[in-house]
Each structure stands twice: as C-alpha cells, then as structure tokens.
Chains A and B, each alone.
Chain A
C-alpha cells in the first residue's frame, strides 16, 4: 500500500493530472480529511483550492481575491460604504479575517457569504474539471486559519467545509447545461446567419446542435448552502463528471512525487491516506490505542472515536504501539485497544502482542481485534489471547467511493457502540461518571442563574438591609471562609463572616471585633490603593498578622481579597480563604461580578450600621 510520506512534519505532493484526475485528488483529500492547498496549473492559469479536513473552503484563479472584493463583485445589494468600513476595521485588526469582520458588522449575512463562496468554488471547479491535462501540487498543512482563507468556515458550514461531492456533482450538472447553452448559442448564431439547422430538444444529447429561441441560464447555487446541502437527498444527475467508479478506492499503481516543504521536488514513494504516526487527536475521557495497517480504516477509527469522546493514539507499527500501551497502562490511564489484523503472518504478531498486554500491570483493557476473514478458528485464537470482541474487516475493494465510505463509517460506528457499551459496564467507569456528575452539579450551583438572581435581589431596594447576608451567601459558593469589612472613618471594620475558626468563638463575632486602620501597611491598604483584587499569600506585617489572628487559630495557604467599589470609591473589602482544607482558591469571577453590584447597596448600608469598637 502506498503511503503519505513520513519525512518531515509538513509534506507536499506533485504530479500530473493525466495520471491522477482532479476529481480523484479532491476525493482522496476529502476521504483522508486532509488540510492544505491544491494548486493546479493548466492552460497558463493557476488555480488554488483550499481544504480544511477534506472539505473545500475556498478557490481562486491566478490572483488572490479577498472575500470583500468577491462579495462586492457578486452581490450588488451590498453598500460599498459598509465594505469600506469593514476594510478600515480589518486594517486595524489584521489578525481577524475579513469574512469574520463582515459578519460581525452585519455587512452581509452568513447565508450571503456562504452563497458567494460556494458560487466561487463551484465556478472554478467547473473550469478546473474541463480537461485533465496539467500539473498539480498539494501543499499539506497542519492547519489553515481564517486569515489564510479570509473567513471562518465553521461559521458558515456544518462541517469543516463543503463536501466535494456536492461541488463535483453540481459542476457536472453545470457542465452539461453549459454545453447545452453553448450548443444553443451556436445554433442561434447559425440561424441568424441563415443556416438550415434541424431543431433538437435539450435532453440527453447536448452534443447535437440546433436553433434556440432563448439561452438556458446556468443554475444558481443553492440558497441555503450547507443546510440545503445536508438536508436534500443526494442528487442523481444523468451526467456527472465524477461518476461512482467501480474501481478500487485508492489508486495504488500511480507514482506521485512527494515534496517536503522548502525542498525541491523529489521522488519519495507512492500515495495513500496515512495519518501522521502517533498523532494525538483529542483530550477526553478514555484513551483509544489503535494498531491498524490500513490507513483508511485507521483514519476512520480516529475520526469517529474522537467524536465519541476518546483520546486517540494510532499506530501502524506493533512495537511503537506496544510501547505506548505500556506507558498508558503503567500510568493507570483507562484505555481501550483496537488491533487490526490484515493477514496470517500479522495475526501471530498481534496475538503475541495481546498476550504481552495481558501481562502488563495485571491490566486487562477492553480489546477489540479486527480480523480479515470469517474463519472462526482465527477468531477463537484471538479470544484466547485476550480479545474481548472480534469483528470482521469490511471488504471495500469492489465498492464505489461513496459506498465504501458509508460501509467503513458504519463498521467503525459499530465498533464504537460495542466499546461504549462495554466500558459503561466497567466499575471504574461508573465511579468516574459519579465524580463527573458531582463536579457538573457543583458547576451548576455556581451557574449564572444564581448570579443573576442574586444581582436582581441586590438591585431591589427592599432587600438592601440583607446585602451583607447575600454577599456572604454568594461567597460561600466559592470559599470555605469569608468575612466582609467596610470602610468607615479611615478604618476597615468587620461586619460579618462565616467559616471555621478553630475554637468556640464564631466567625461572625470574631470579625465584628476586627478593626484595621486604612493607612497602616496591610493587605487591606494595598487593595484600597489599587482597587483591584488580590490573590495569593499574605505578607508578614503587623496588621496582616493581627487580622489572621482575629479570624481564629486556622491559617490559610492562599487568600483572596476583592474590593467593593461604588462610584470609583472603595466601600469595603471581602476577604476569603480555603483555610479549612487548604484547597487552592478557584475562579472567583462570578463573585467579583456580584460584588461589583453590591457596592452601591453597601454604600447605603454603611450609613445604617451601628459601629462598634472603632477607635
């Protein structure tokens, strides 16, 4: 099997269209979910087609045309003054793509932009597919950003771009209609010139010439672009340039020149769909370790299991695979293994590997083995070696491109379903799930709903006397201990608090006897001068030590102080820590937002407080 080359991180490939037609290149890039730029040189023109994860995202001919220029040239309803305003913003923010700016400024709708891009790709695809002579090069990229292509495809298209079959099929249709139109135009001209031409109908014989009453316009692209593309049933045109070929999925007998970036063209090998060795894809839940020689199956496993929440590692060499599995099992990371067997020789190697894995750390990770055939004896051997599930590899060699993709997806989805069901029954999964649920619940408790409700309560004039309690209630969502001190006559005066003190005197009582001069050096004077929150350790100063001693006999590792401000003036400070269990203090954004609104309410409260012990 030919492969993408492994030399270097970024590779390219070049070749002639006579060997590999454009439609095949596009399909191959799509099936292998590649990102990069396909450049085609033909008839003194240079075409570029941009791909992100196999989807078509942009196309251009000879010169780079900005999204703004494209939009302006194709959409007469757009006010050029607004385009100019967007250009001015883009000049100030070159890191943002023009397409994103146009959308954010509402200069055009996402549907308008999608339609323009779709039409551009469509138009050029038709031109590119006209004949099959010329050169191509595919510049494989790690990623293409929105600034590379001028917009963010994920804001316009459901997938990473437009699936090529939509474009290729549509180009086929346009091609047929254009041929008909050209024929009719020629007929009309001949008719005008007085030639005697027999009439024909516009059906399945576009090559026949005849007179025309009027020309047939090229079809407009779909209005709802991606939504329409996804929801409409697949077209089955009478004539398409890309037909479903009853041939092997991947051409294995064509030599393609591969070129590492920044190197002169050089022959490396043959072409296939292999992904980078050991590439890590996502970072969710269970690991999935794939050992599979067939790049197409491996890529499909990677894609579908990544979407299923697995962190995927994939290999085609047994030793590197075993090394990774050992590393994960030794680290105690929950993992699922998928091992593909393609022939008898490899079967022995895989079974040996399985036995090795079973011996690692007394671990028995869920294991799926994919066999090439139906022989129950081979399946039995795999089960004895440690497999939990044996599946039979689908035979794609006689299938069309579309059918093979569907079969492969279905097969891998079946593997995913089986694996998900298996691990859901594992005891450690249940425990992990419980933990996850508790964490989610905790996050929910700190949700915006609570924050919004408290802010609403805070703004209600009738509840102003309760502002201290509400603040402490909010603080309790974030901290184990907290106290509020308000500024009065150049002193910070404690008004209330909660949390463990280490003795019988409650925090509320302790803090009410706490008074700190505003001008003396302390963490409070620091917050007072900056009006910004402080998070970290406390410096050893007289008043800091006094303050901590006032709170009790438990001392924190980390503290947070958030100023309470109204009309630019410091009203008070909320102090908090996690002294009880010494946990790090988490994100307190919500609390800070709440306190920003509490300032006005505290301002009123201050006047009604009976101050105690201020000296």
Chain B
C-alpha cells in the first residue's frame, strides 16, 4: 500500500487532511512539524508528502528544499497546502519542487483526485 505523509502543525487541519485521505487506500503518516517529518521519513519511506507552508521550526518550503536536495528523497512528489493565495507563493513552491499547490479550504474530491493521480505516477515510475 502506498504511504502518504501529512505534515501540518494544526491538529484540526491535519485531522481534516487525514480524514480526506481515508477515502483512498493509502497508509497515512502524520507529522506536526517539518523536523518531525525529516525524522520520520528515514524510518517510514513515503510515496507522497502533503505539507503546509507555515509551520514552526522549519517551514514547508524548507522541508521541500531538504527533501529535494537529498538523492534518496528528491523524487518524492510533494503537494503544498497553504492559506497563501498569491500567484508568487504558488510559483515559489512549484519552483522549489512541489508538484501541486492547494489553497485552504479546498475541495476534498479535488484533493483526492490529485493524490490518486500522483500516486499512480509514482507507481508507473517504479514499474518503468
């Protein structure tokens, strides 16, 4: 089963995202900070990361930077979920390596569709 990591410091938002993922057949790993995500990934390799931007210690953009720098994690697709609506923020996240950017609050069905699409992509990569 594919594994998705949700990185979000807000308990309620994390619960919401995890709840949304319950409709898909995936294992969900939760992290409340960027550092916690970095700590967990070596123990629980993941197929997709869904991360908030504004978090304590390291923020979502720094997390993307860390993951994209490292050869073992640079191919993990990352979806950013943020309150920031500006085009600049979205472009910055995409430039750093995010594959998608959703603005809170978002439609659950849209989110699930994107996750499914990206997980299928990782499957194809592995098969290919």
Q: How many residues of A contact B (CB 8 A)?
A: 35
A363 within 8 A of B: no
B117 within 8 A of A: no
Known: A104-B10, A592-B39, A593-B35. 7 other contacts (CB 8 A): A88-B16, A96-B11, A105-B104, A106-B83, A459-B66, A459-B70, A566-B72
B108 within 8 A of A: yes
Contacts A456-B69, A593-B38 given; does A531 touch B43 at CB 8 Å: yes
Q: Are B69 and A89 in contact (CB under 8 A)?
A: no
CA–CA, A86 and B15, complex, Å: 10
CA–CA, A106 and B19, complex, Å: 17
A381 within 8 A of B: no
Q: Can you name the residue of chain B whose Cβ is closest to the Cβ of A90?
A: B12
Chain B positions 73-128 with a Cβ under 8 Å from a chain A Cβ: 83, 103-105, 108
CA–CA, A598 and B15, complex, Å: 30
CA–CA, A107 and B12, complex, Å: 12
Q: Are A596 and B15 in contact (CB under 8 A)?
A: no
Main secondary structure of the interface of A (DSSP, over half): helix
Q: Can you name the residue of chain B whose Cβ is closest to the Cβ of A78?
A: B105
CA–CA, A597 and B71, complex, Å: 12
Interface of B with A (CB < 8 Å)? 10-13, 15-16, 19, 35, 38-45, 57-58, 62, 66, 69-72, 83, 103-105, 108
A-chain residues with CB within 8 Å of residue B13 when the two chains form the complex: 104-105
A448 within 8 A of B: yes
Q: Can you name the residue of chain B whose Cβ is closest to the Cβ of A596?
A: B39
B-chain residues with CB within 8 Å of residue A596 when the two chains form the complex: 38-43
B-chain residues with CB within 8 Å of residue A565 when the two chains form the complex: 42-43
CA–CA, A254 and B105, complex, Å: 53
Q: Are A93 and B43 in contact (CB under 8 A)?
A: no
CA–CA, A251 and B50, complex, Å: 59
CA–CA, A38 and B43, complex, Å: 54
A256 within 8 A of B: no
CA–CA, A89 and B66, complex, Å: 31
With most chain B CB atoms within 10 A of its CB, the pick from A88, A461, A531, A593 is A593
B-chain residues with CB within 8 Å of residue A39 when the two chains form the complex: none
Interface mask (A90-108 → B, CB under 8 Å = 1, otherwise 0) = 1011001000110011110
Q: Are B69 and A567 in contact (CB under 8 A)?
A: no
What are 13 pairs between A and B in contact, CB < 8 Å? A86-B12, A93-B15, A96-B12, A105-B13, A105-B104, A452-B58, A452-B62, A459-B70, A565-B43, A566-B42, A567-B72, A592-B39, A596-B38
A-B pairs with the 3 shortest C-beta distances? A106-B104, A104-B10, A459-B69
A611 within 8 A of B: no
B-chain residues with CB within 8 Å of residue A459 when the two chains form the complex: 66, 69-70
Q: Are B12 and A100 in contact (CB under 8 A)?
A: yes
